[in-house]
Amino acid sequence: MTTEQEVVAAASGLSLRAKLEIAASLIFCAIIWWVATPKPAPVGQWQPAKTASQVTDVPKTALSCKPVIVYEQAAKQNLDLPPSVQADAEKHVTSSSKVNPDLHPQTVTTIYNDKTGQTEAMIRRDPYPWLAAEQTGEVWVGYGVKNGGGRVGLLSVTEELIQVKALHFGVSGSVSTDGSLFAGVGAGYRW
């Protein structure tokens, strides 16, 4: 028997109770991991942007410049900025951009032209990191046909832990209504 056949034989020798206990343990670990990881800001909530690492140590300087071209105060309401910003007459919108979702990290930089007083936001799609910690997961539920012709439901849980360029490494577990179980580690590529 090959190693794969040995694993399948060992797994098929498990009782349904043992399979359910393993699946419950995997789900419990995934829930603990999910609860313990920091979450992104809620949708629709404004957050200060993190300064790009390329400029954190670069000193700032004051410009003596022409008047800055800004949007009228209505822009703050249209963008649904926080009430403290909307009420502050000294704060103005110089530019606002939509950033399309992307698997790549992105850097947004605002450029000020001191001759015209205009500002312009520029977006750069950055390369994947060589190595990064990840905390993303997926629960997937499906229903379909197995190769033997029988119908089966499937519950799958995947948690990605490490990213190396475009490869994502993590753990995965699944259980199906016919009693089969899978738990393991793997790598994936997204497009």
Can you say whether residue 117 is alpha, beta or left, with left for phi > 0 and alpha for psi between -120 and 50 degrees? left
Give percent above pLDDT 70 in the chain.
91
Same domain, yes or no, for 117 and 155? Answer: no
> What is the pLDDT at residue 10?
58
Q: Which amino acid is at 154?
A: L
Q: Kindly state the tokens that stand for 82.
A: 């926080």
The strand order across the sheet containing 167-176 reads 132-145, 151-164, 167-176, 181-189
Same domain, yes or no, for 119 and 57? Answer: yes
The candidate with the shortest Cα–Cα distance to 139, out of 118, 124, 154, is 154
Same domain, yes or no, for 63 and 101? Answer: yes
The pLDDT tens digits of the residues spanning 152-176 come to 999 999 989 889 999 999 999 999 9
Can you list the residues of the chain whose pLDDT is less than 50? none
Same domain, yes or no, for 87 and 33? Answer: no
In whole angstroms, give the CA distance from residue 28 to residue 49.
Answer: 34
> What is the pLDDT at residue 9?
56
> What is the pLDDT at residue 32?
75
Range of the domain at 21: 3-37+130-189
pTM over 0.85: no
Look at residue 42 and tell me if it is in a domain: no
Same domain, yes or no, for 89 and 116? Answer: yes
> What is the pLDDT at residue 187?
94
Look at residue 43 and tell me if it is in a domain: no
Final residue before a domain boundary, out of 125, 157, 178: 125
Q: Which amino acid is at 146?
A: K
> What is the pLDDT at residue 26?
81
Instruction: CATH number of the domain at 138, please.
Output: 3.30.1300
